[in-house]
Each structure stands twice: as C-alpha cells, then as structure tokens.
Amino acid sequence: MNQRIRASVLIGFGMLLGLLAPYAWGAVASQAQSSCQSFPQTGHQICGRFLQYWQQHGGLAQQGYPLSEEFVETSALNGKPYTVQYFERAVFELHPENAPPYDVLLSQLGTFQGRANYPQGFPPGGGVPPYYNDQTSPANTLKSFHNGITRKEYERAYGYYQGAPNPDPSLAPPYNQWVQGYSTTAASIVAYNPNYREDPGAGNVYAAVRAAVRSLHTNGAQQLFSGCYIMHRVAVGVSPNPDDLLWHISRATVVEAPVNTPIDSILAQSCNP
C-alpha cells in the first residue's frame, strides 16, 4: 500500500471513529476499567461505569442480575449506536457525551413497549384503555377481544370470533343481540393462565386458554366469570392467505362464578380443547 492510499485509509478510519466516539466507542472505555463484579447466577459481569451506576441505583433489588455483557446496539428511537447492557429489570445505555450522572441512562422501555403494544398511542383522558389489537398468539387475541368490548368497539371485538361476521350460533349469537348483552358493561377485564399449549393437527392449530373475566357495570356492580376459550388458526403453509395465521376464538365455555372467588383458583382449573 503506497503512502497516499495508507493516509487516505487512516483519515477515513479516523473520521469514522470521530463520528462514533460519543456513542458505540464508549464500550472500549468502559471495558477498559478494571472494576468488575461477576454473577455466576447468570454467567455475566458488570464493569466500570455500569457497575457504579448499578451499585448506586438499587443494585440487585432494583435492577436485577445482568442478562448480557456490554455490547453495541443501534437504538430504534434515533438510529444511533450505544453501548448497552441488559438486566432483569432495565437496560443501561452509555452516553459519554453527557456529564455524570447523566452518562448512564435507562433505555426507554416504556416507549418501546408502548409503541409495540399500543400503536395508536394512549388516550389523553383517564378511564379509557388504549387500543390493543394483536392476533399473533392465543392470549393476545383474548386480550384484544376484551379490549374491544371495554372500548365499545363491538364490531372489532365480534370479529375475533371464528367465522365472523356470521360465527356459528353455538359460539356467539347474531351481532345485534350480542352487542345488547354488553349494554351495561363498563369494562371487561381478562386474566389468563399463560401455561397453555398449542396443539397442531390436520392443518390446524388449537390452544385451550383458561381465563377469568371480571365485568364492571355502569351501575357499579361486578360479575366474575370462569371461561375456557378454544383458540384456532390455520397451520403455516396450508393457506396462502396471511389472515388465516391469525388466532380467533373457535369455542368458548363461560360460566358465572361468585364475585369473591380467587382469580388463581379459576386459572388453576383445567381447560381442554
């Protein structure tokens, strides 16, 4: 390599380092620090500035164990690379361009989760839950169904039934009659047992989800229901229609329970397809 080419390469590399110095290259400075604490529980360690921040801000009780080593991650918020480290309850982000104590910031997990779960944002006033629609799993579909009822978006909620807008009568009554059944419902709050299983077979996938539903009424009354929801979607590769991969309510058995019944006791009950 002649001197002119070598000089150009060095200048270009130096410019790249200059651009990244406030962000990703903080990893080099942090890792160079000798102070580290190892955690055999997860097989990772915390070093340097992250260790100092961890110790000064609640340590294990508040932040949890480290789930990773330091590494460079490009932020989805601004497209810039930062040195980060993942913990059980937080993500540390190194900002050497800031003066301490603001050189370590917590990743905006609330922003990420809010954007992922509630793409339409949060309502400006209280009392109305944000819009939620996710049919990529049985549980999320069930949450979406009750979110639609609570927000009085009845057409959307009814659409989670398999066969809608004309589901089998054994699954749900005709739409207008079904809506009338929620005329005094102020909120429909669902809890579910996450230990359900997805069972594939004959081009279909089913999941039986045990749930407890608390209905709050406009007059202040409450009702509690014990439910077994059979969720369904088409198996991957069976249909060219991507909507067939979305989960729907295929069958449901819902019975009223005493309002003071512990939720855990309802969720512990079996629920089979």
Spatial distance between the Cα atoms of 188 and 106, rounded to a whole number of angstroms: 34
The whole model's pTM is what?
0.76
The answer to whether 131 and 118 have CB atoms below 8 angstroms apart is yes
Could you tell me the domains of the chain?
Answer: 17-115 (no CATH), 126-267 (3.10.450.50)
22-65 pLDDT, tens digit per residue, is 444 344 334 444 599 999 999 999 999 999 999 999 999 999 99
The one-digit pLDDT tens for each residue of the chain (273 residues) are: 444 444 443 334 343 334 343 444 344 334 444 599 999 999 999 999 999 999 999 999 999 999 999 999 988 888 889 999 999 999 999 999 999 999 999 998 888 889 888 999 988 877 789 999 999 999 999 999 999 999 999 999 999 999 999 999 999 999 999 999 999 999 999 999 999 999 998 899 999 999 999 999 999 999 999 999 999 999 999 999 999 999 999 999 999 999 999 999 999 999 976
Contact predicate 94/27, CB 8 Å: yes
Q: Specify whether the CB–CB gap between 105 and 116 falls below 8 A.
A: no
Count of CA atoms in the C-beta half-sphere (13 A) of 159: 12
Check residue 273 and give its pLDDT: 65
List, for residues 176-192, the tens digit of each pLDDT value.
Answer: 999 999 999 999 999 99
Instruction: Kindly give, in sequence order, each residue whose CB lies less than 8 Å from that of residue 206, ignoring residues fewer than 6 positions away.
Output: 198, 199, 230, 231, 232, 250, 273
Q: What is the pLDDT of residue 76?
A: 81
Task: Report pLDDT for 208.
Answer: 97
pLDDT of residue 22: 42
Q: In 10 A of CB 134, how many CB atoms?
A: 16
Alpha helix locations (H) across 64-137? Answer: 109-117
Burial label for 87, CB within 10 Å (0-12, 13-18, 19+), is: buried
How many residues does the structure list for the chain? Answer: 273
| Pair of tokens at residue 159 | 């659409």
Q: How far is CA 207 from the centre of its chain?
A: 20
Provide the 10 A C-beta neighbour count for residue 190: 21
**What b/e sequence results for 240-271 when a residue is b if at least 16 CB atoms lie within 10 Å of its CB, and e otherwise?**
eeeeebebbbbbbeeeebeeeeeeeebbeeeb
Tokens of 67: 């789930």
Instruction: Give the distance from CA 200 to its chain's centroid.
Output: 24
SS3 assignment, position 190: strand
**What pLDDT is attached to residue 34?**
58
